[in-house]
Structure 1
């Protein structure tokens, strides 16, 4: 779950896979915000509650408070699995 940069283009490593993100910070923040907002109305047929954690992962690349929460969750999960 660590954000990494590959030749200037941000990406997320999650569950052993790499996901490329848009290069612009504002596009990432907007995309993450849209995912979280869409997840809040997850009871609608097209949208789902799965969008909230995906949006938070995207936001964690640029927002330190969300990044700290993601890191705490990763450490807790790692200790629990051990």
Structure 2
């Protein structure tokens, strides 16, 4: 079973790869119209996470963002001290 690890947590993503890719793309497209009531901007990062399970370039981009975010948080913690 495929899983996504982000922020120290592991979430299992069920389904065949083609279905996960379609769901990920639909989530991203739904997130682009985030100003609508039910659809929202929350769908963008969720779509990227689902796509990162099967698509290497998306996984690489997600990992870079995760590393950047972690370094940024560490830098801010050091500045507060």
TM range (shorter): 0.7 to 0.9
Give the structure with higher Rg (CA): 2
In structure 1, the partner of 2:69 is 77
Which is richer in helix?
A: 2
Q: Which runs of 4+ in 1 moved over 4 A?
A: none
User: Greater strand share, 1 or 2?
Assistant: 1
Structure 2 residue 40 is the aligned partner of structure 1 residue 59: no
Q: 5+ unaligned residues in a row in structure 1: which ranges?
A: 1-8
Q: What's the CA shift for 1:80? A: 1.7
Give the paired residue count.
74
| Unpaired stretches in structure 2, ≥5 consecutive residues | 75-81
- 1:43 correspondence with 2:35: yes
